[in-house]
Amino acid sequence: MFDRYKVRRLEERYREQAVANGKSKFVRREVGSSVLLFAGVMTFLYFVNGRTRSALIACLAVLLIGTLGAYLHAVWKWQDLTRR
């Protein structure tokens, strides 16, 4: 169904474009998408579980931990991208 050669070419183009754009843009894009995902999930859980102060603090703590995790993941992904 998928042509392996075309997929490999698309992956190489993505890699070349990401390296050309630079590390900071790559990391910002990765972290930004993760923060949006975490913020959406945490907002949903905040309203579902009840709007209390402890729920808000827990959601903010998870959001901060998720942001840090997203940053570390993006940096490691960048290192893997530049090693190839």
DSSP letter string, 48-65? HH---HHHHHHHHHHHHH
Q: What is the pLDDT of residue 3?
A: 87
Q: What is the pLDDT of residue 1?
A: 63
List pLDDT tens digits, range 12-61.
998 899 899 999 999 999 999 999 998 999 889 888 888 889 888 988 89
Spell out the domain ranges in the chain. 25-79
Query: Cα separations (Å) of 20 from 14, 27, 40, 44?
Result: 10, 13, 31, 37
Q: What is the pLDDT of residue 84?
A: 72
Q: What is the pLDDT of residue 22?
A: 92
